[in-house]
Amino acid sequence: MAWQTNGDLYQLKPSSIMVYGTVWCPDCKRAKQFFGEQRVHYNSVDIDEDPKGIEFVERINDGKRIIPTIIFPDGEILVEPSNAQLAQKLGFNTSARRSYYDTIVIGAGPAGLTSAFYLAREGLDVLVIEKAGLGGQAGITQTLDNFPGFDEGIAGGEFAERLGRQARKFGVEILQAQEVLGLDRDGRYHFAETGPDTHYHSKAVLLATGARYRRMNIPGEDELIGINVHFCATCDGAFYKGKTVLVVGGGNSGFEESLFLTKFAAQVDILVNSPRPKASQILQDKVAEKSNMRVILNHAIRELRGKTGLESVLLEDLSTGDRREAHYDGVFVFIGVMPNNDLLKGKVELDEGGFVKAPHMMTSLPGVFAAGDVRSGSTKQAASAAGEGASAALAVREYLKSIGE
């Protein structure tokens, strides 16, 4: 039974995952967020805007309008599935083989996976727990062309897949779509809690949870991240040779990254949401000297328009409330980063920004280590995160030796 009235839209065996729902349905949002976090491609049909979609959902559900209704390429249908059901359907490993490991690594970005396979190569049992997709921020970068060894660049998704394969090759066990809800100590062992009755114990723990870029939280942002919305000029600036870009952020980072972008872009505008920038006067002077740079003061972005690519930017003058459309090839956002430090708040020393202090990779809590973007003083680059992962693995190894394990 299939209704192929619009290409692949109403088939029981579509070529990609189809999510039938509405914009107001919380379970629909949750399912889409799950697919997004796990970097699983899907297509969405808003049945409020598509009468044929309503008919299709009702036929599948014996006349009932139940959403989300999700159809997979093999023809299986899941109605109002939980995240656990979605993870099972996608074949994710969500339950570890044992309850005890030499080391638990929380986070599967470049730092976490590098440390994991370094430790596993030495014969240690290593468990990696990741709530989102492998690769961390690097996994959603369009192309990495500044990572050593990839002279022609590599897509972020492929880079993440390679990291995962490399770790598994050395025997690392990886749990996906699993969030560590709590981290504590039980006698001589640490334990990570992923559910009310699920705990994994270890002699050492490495926190490699990274940091998340502060986002603008405006319509259109999520859809264009990795396409025309970026958070790293070093990573993605080269894609805008001869083009026009907008940088959001009036602090030192925004001005520094904007100056870097002039190596590629023909025009770089800086959007500042206050009457005066917060960047140092030296940086402001350098920007003022550039003929292809402009600072737009007291403005904010209200919407990014375009589904498969950036078509326009809706700007608002904060002093008058007037709005206008502007056209840019790309938008770079530098309004700060937030460390994913919830597991260690109140347990270890943090710096003023909330990043974990771990000068020699070990935190102020013995046996608990930190590496990558969550660590205070890290450079927030994929290559340095991988290096920190290797350093953390060596520090963990020495720690295990010191406690006689």
Q: Which residues are catalytic?
A: 232, 235-236
Distance CA 100, CA 401 (A): 18
Query: What one-letter code names the amino acid at 33?
Result: Q
62 CA to centre of own chain: 38
CB 17 within 8 A of CB 73: yes
Distance CA 253, CA 353 (A): 15
User: How many C-beta atoms surround the C-beta of residue 189 within 10 A?
Assistant: 17
288 contacts: CB under 8 Å, gap ≥ 6: none
Place of tokens 């020699």: 360
Distance CA 131, CA 178 (A): 4
Q: How many residues does the chain have?
A: 405
Beta strand residue intervals within 157-218, DSSP E: 173-176, 182-186, 189-195, 198-207, 211-213
In three-state secondary structure terms, 162 is helix
Peptide bond into 219 cis (omega under 30): no
Distance CA 262, CA 294 (A): 11
7 contacts: CB under 8 Å, gap ≥ 6: none
Cα radius of gyration (the chain): 23
CB 349 within 8 A of CB 363: yes
For 315-354, b/e burial (b = at least 16 CB within 10 A) is: bbeeeeeeeeeeebbbbbbbbebebbbebbeebbebeeeb
Distance CA 378, CA 39 (A): 26
Count of CA atoms in the C-beta half-sphere (13 A) of 179? 10
Place of tokens 């690594």: 105
Distance CA 166, CA 160 (A): 10
